[in-house]
Amino acid sequence: MSDCLFCKIVAKEIPAEIVYETGRALAFRDVNPQAPTHVLVVPKAHHADAAALARADDGLADEVLKAAHEVAVREGVTEGGYRIVFNTGAGAGQTVFHVHAHVLGGRALTWPPG
């Protein structure tokens, strides 16, 4: 989608600090990190939210989730615990409507989130 921020990052039209990439997924650091590790994992193909990703019937959700876990391993946060979050819908805080998993770790994470 031409007007989508994360499609532009996937297309390298907007710079981002990429930390991991697979054939169909890209992981890059959040520009406004909320934890020492705060990485966003997106499918390269545009899907608006987690519901749309779940409906993608070609293993794409699986690839995104595996990429999120691989990021956590590479960032060294698995032992201390980490969180994979899909804010889904404006009411849940989603502001960019290209689905993305937040991978958060490197500090104690409270529950429930706000």
Residues that bind ligand 5GP (CB under 6 A): 5, 14, 16, 28-32, 40, 87, 93-96
Question: Is there a catalytic annotation at residue 100?
Answer: yes
**Residues 31 and 15: beta-carbon distance below 8 Å:** no
* CA-wise closest residue to 33 among 21, 46, 22, 17: 17
Question: In angstroms, what is the minimal distance from the CB of 62 to ligand 5GP?
Answer: 21
Buried b (16+ CB within 10 A) or exposed e, 94-103: beebbbbbbb
What gap in Å lies between CA 36 and CA 77, rounded to an integer? 10
Residues 16-55, mask of contacts with Zn ion (x by CB under 5 A): ------------------------------x---------
Question: In angstroms, what is the minimal distance from the CB of 20 to Zn ion?
Answer: 18
CA angle 88, 111, 39 (to 5 degrees): 55
Assess 56 for contact with Zn ion (CB under 5 A). no
What gap in Å lies between CA 101 and CA 62, rounded to an integer? 12
Question: In angstroms, what is the minimal distance from the CB of 101 to Zn ion?
Answer: 14
The listed partner (ligand 5GP, Zn ion, none) that binds 7, CB under 5 to 8 Å by sort, is: Zn ion
Q: Which of 44, 98, 100, 102 binds Zn ion (CB under 5 A)?
A: 98
